[in-house]
Structure 1
């Protein structure tokens, strides 16, 4: 364990205190680094957590993808965004709709506009941040995407970019941002390799339950279920930590977070382990919930195995979309069965799957009920829909698996 004394940094007149026990995942800043526009995740958290009197405004760009799987960053921020005041979503295919209604059938007052110009005109203000809300499998920008981002920069908006393509490495974006005096946040950009950590096994000293939300595919609702579960457990009265492992969770402002698929494979388990252990040391939680990525059975992504190794979970909750026939972006790759995924997870993780949360895409209410009933009967574990059913069912999954947690609060609220 590397322990350094508390260091202080100044950014925009705000003094930032960073205690770097292990690598500090909260700010992602090390003693020999200073806060500047390229310290991406650290700057985002430091700016919001230290001295900001109001929640900064933002517009989310999600052209032709809002409510779709590749629009998962925008979808997640519309459902939960404590760090930003979202003014609107940009998607010409759904312009005129309420974003909450388009996504979940419930109005939230955040409109969808066709263009950036229209969104600014209707808001009567220029947002402080332009958030790129699309997460394509390619991880790179199209020509249209570049044009819109450059337009936002020219208007004086800071950019939040969650792609694998780092805008701070692009001469055109560097020149534009310097000219406009704005900040570009490449959320996926990892720390310098000299600061990355190898797995040490210290995660095994965490003595509270660690539950990972796994899935049978990518873009299936793991982060949403994790967020809902954490909120429900907190309402129940438990001290809960969420560890986010993707770009959307970082943008949402999860205090303990990292973007796993941007870290070299050799360091993935160790980096996650460090975040979990720091959360445990600082927060003294009753339980830690870890957001999963991809699927353990998915041949195109290996992050799931790194998450299991780095977190050493005590239990897993599985997210599945019963009506999804093929993997997202892989039209000839059939979805795995729930049974096969559970078998693989339990063999690899040496931990039980304690519940199933279904993604109701393409399903009617009656079909959801039938699916919950049949899965519950087949697998003899609790099953729910995190968005369509009461969060009490998610709490029940956890309390059933870890009954000692139930003794702290006598009545489920």
Structure 2
């Protein structure tokens, strides 16, 4: 049976992109796109001009930290050119250079990559004129495009013509399936008998996906089979096997699409636990995605992500951040669930300040608190085991 492309998005070279209602059939390129021979991942450059390491650069930030689908060769951001991408993010050096231009990126890699990934997530969801020119320039060099914006480039006559002329593909990651194929909520979520944990936040662009990714990996390493459900474009670009870009789905179908995705992951993978990536915040006045996550996935538990040093909502400088206590109260009032832990985003904080914040919130909330990026991943596992002690008896994967 064919896997639905909203659930599993396997990126293929331009010559093998299937035609369909939303993908343009293209002839085979003159040369096959470069692929990393060890991992068999397609090579990619990430474009993030002026935003790498910042809030609007969250797609690029995430890909530099984790990408199962693409071998990231470099990041384009002239403002941070010459630095190591890992160090820009406050992580250890990872050998991915930040370069000033597409010309420099191609020269550094020794060849044109298979893909150029648009690595920003602006609130407008649209390309600027400068960004359009850059994308078209890349296509003229035989580079396919990965686009995570709300603007679908396959629908743009200029981009469609360029794709055909230069024998490249455009992957509009956020495009949903045809309306006639969208799924309504049915209640089948009740057949998912393993724990479902949503990683929610007190704001958008606060690290929910990063924490969910680290948590999933840590649980699997501890012998607890975990499956991640992606709910945004970045997790799909990174290679999440199961997921749907919820903010591109008509509201009537959001709960049903997520429910169907969770049910499918449960039936296929037989996991011990399912982790659901959060979006926005339940309290956020501009984003409603968290409500659909709570209704469609019906998580048994929530891990809440918060940035203690952030004073105002991202992109809304006149709206103060909610308190952790108020967000927990809202979550537990809105749905029949429990918050089992708090994770911190350490932006604008020293390590000493993180340690102090962890102690403060643990005292005040009576919950385990950690920072997924700077503290041992085992703390995340302990957080889950504290909420679901029945998982502690699982055999270690690979044990004799």
* TM-score, structure 2 normalization: 0.92
- Per-residue CA deviations over 1:269-301 (Å, capped at 9, x if unaligned) read 000000000000010100000000000000100
The equivalent residue for 2:54 is 68
- Per-residue CA deviations over 1:43-86 (Å, capped at 9, x if unaligned) read 9xxx9xxxx98221100000000000000000000000121111
The equivalent residue for 1:310 is 296
Structure 2: gaps of 5 or more residues: 11-16, 27-32
The alignment yields a C-alpha RMSD, in angstroms, of 2.4
Give SS of 1:150's match: helix
Aligned partner of 2:19 among 30, 33, 36:
36
Q: Which runs of 4+ in 1 moved over 4 A?
A: 37-40
Q: How many residues align?
A: 385
Mean alpha-carbon deviation: is it higher for 297-306 or for 116-125?
A: 116-125
After superposition, the Cα gap between the structure-2 partners of 1:104 and 1:70, relative to the gap in structure 1 and judged at 3 Å, is same
Aligned partner of 1:296 among 263, 278, 282:
282
The equivalent residue for 1:210 is 196
Aligned partner of 2:74 among 83, 88, 94:
88
Query: Quick one: distance in 2 between partners of 1:53 and 1:91?
Result: 26
The equivalent residue for 1:256 is 242
After superposition, the Cα gap between the structure-2 partners of 1:198 and 1:410, relative to the gap in structure 1 and judged at 3 Å, is closer
* Deviation, structure 1 residue 122: 1.7
The equivalent residue for 2:175 is 189
The equivalent residue for 1:361 is 347
- Per-residue CA deviations over 1:206-244 (Å, capped at 9, x if unaligned) read 100000000000000000000000000000001111000
- Per-residue CA deviations over 1:135-166 (Å, capped at 9, x if unaligned) read 00010111110010000000000100000011
* TM-score, structure 1 normalization: 0.89
After superposition, the Cα gap between the structure-2 partners of 1:90 and 1:37, relative to the gap in structure 1 and judged at 3 Å, is farther
The equivalent residue for 2:7 is 25
Counting only pairs closer than 5 Å after superposition, residues 123-134 of structure 1 correspond to structure 2 as: 123-134=109-120
The equivalent residue for 2:267 is 281
Structure 1: gaps of 5 or more residues: 1-5, 7-17, 29-33
Q: Would the aligned equivalents of 1:243 and 1:288 in 2 still touch at CA under 8 Å?
A: yes
Q: Would the aligned equivalents of 2:6 and 2:176 in 1 still touch at CA under 8 Å?
A: no
* Deviation, structure 1 residue 347: 0.6
After superposition, the Cα gap between the structure-2 partners of 1:163 and 1:96, relative to the gap in structure 1 and judged at 3 Å, is same
Query: Quick one: distance in 1 between partners of 2:134 and 2:6?
Result: 34
The equivalent residue for 2:149 is 163
Aligned partner of 2:42 among 43, 50, 56:
56
* Deviation, structure 1 residue 105: 3.3
Q: Would the aligned equivalents of 1:38 and 1:185 in 2 still touch at CA under 8 Å?
A: no
Q: Would the aligned equivalents of 1:358 and 1:385 in 2 still touch at CA under 8 Å?
A: yes
The equivalent residue for 1:403 is 389
